[in-house]
A and B are shown apart, each in its own frame.
Chain A
Amino acid sequence: DTGVSQNPRHKITKRGQNVTFRCDPISEHNRLYWYRQTLGQGPEFLTYFQNEAQLEKSRLLSDRFSAERPKGSFSTLEIQRTEQGDSAMYLCASSFGASGGLYEQYFGPGTRLTVT
């Protein structure tokens, strides 16, 4: 297994455009997380899936953001009508957990979004 992969690695878009990012987790992992990280800050939690169910959404995830994980495999994060404030690194992580609780997360390399 090659770990968590994210595509694209870099995305430059104009303000007002929609963008979609993809995350492919480690195959046996049932949990998937999305974070946003800006320069000099720690990752900020956005949302969390257990299998295909989206169990938690941060208030940071405005109506312009939506995430899906069809069939409990890969996940997509879409940002509609992008704003310059959306410029950040978007990180995906996955883990395996049989019950509630925090488990070791494996992070992907991230997708760097620049909104011009």
Chain B
Amino acid sequence: LAKTTQPISMDSYEGQEVNITCSHNNIATNDYITWYQQFPSQGPRFIIQGYKTKVTNEVASLFIPADRKSSTLSLPRVSLSDTAVYYCLVVVGSGNTGKLIFGQGTTLQVKP
């Protein structure tokens, strides 16, 4: 069964770039890798997803190497409001019947 590994916590300062890596093996070969953000007492919120190489949207970038055994979420110029837990989400299996596996989460603390 696939297993994901993320750092449990990270600290940063406002304005810095933060990179969070998730290691994942045995994931579905044809599905996206997705990252979510979660604040206390709320459901997770979608940040970004990608299949391979690099994807960028208005809030983050996602780097995925060719072997797809890891992915790195990059948050440029973080602010205090980016303090949250960040999860990677991968799929094991394929098609409509794949199982969804969240990482254990990385708690990011942004300091002033």
Residues of A in contact with B (beta carbons under 8 Å apart): 4, 33, 35, 40-45, 48, 50, 55-56, 58, 91, 93, 100-110
Chain A residues in 8 Å Cβ range of B63: none
Chain B residues in 8 Å Cβ range of A42: 87, 102-105
Cβ of B94 within 8 Å of any chain A Cβ, yes or no, is yes
Cβ of B75 within 8 Å of any chain A Cβ, yes or no, is no
Q: How far is the CA of A104 from the CA of B34 in the complex (A)?
A: 8
Partner of B99, one of A50, A56, A93: A56
- Verify A55–B96 contact, CB threshold 8 A: yes
- Verify B44–A43 contact, CB threshold 8 A: yes
Q: How far is the CA of A55 from the CA of B96 in the complex (A)?
A: 7
Partner of B98, one of A4, A102, A105, A107: A102
- Verify A107–B44 contact, CB threshold 8 A: yes
Chain A residues in 8 Å Cβ range of B42: 107, 109-110
Q: How many residues of B contact A (CB 8 A)?
A: 26
A-B contact count (CB 8 A): 66
Chain B residues in 8 Å Cβ range of A109: 41-43
The A interface is mostly helix, strand or loop, or mixed, namely loop
Which residue on chain A has the smallest CB distance to residue B105? A42
4 smallest beta-carbon distances between A and B, as pairs = A107-B43, A42-B102, A100-B95, A45-B100
Chain B residues in 8 Å Cβ range of A45: 99-102
Chain A residues in 8 Å Cβ range of B32: 101-103
- Verify A56–B43 contact, CB threshold 8 A: no
Given the interface pairs A102-B91, A102-B100, the reply to whether A108 lies near B34 with Cβ below 8 Å is no
Q: How far is the CA of A42 from the CA of B46 in the complex (A)?
A: 14
Cβ of B82 within 8 Å of any chain A Cβ, yes or no, is no
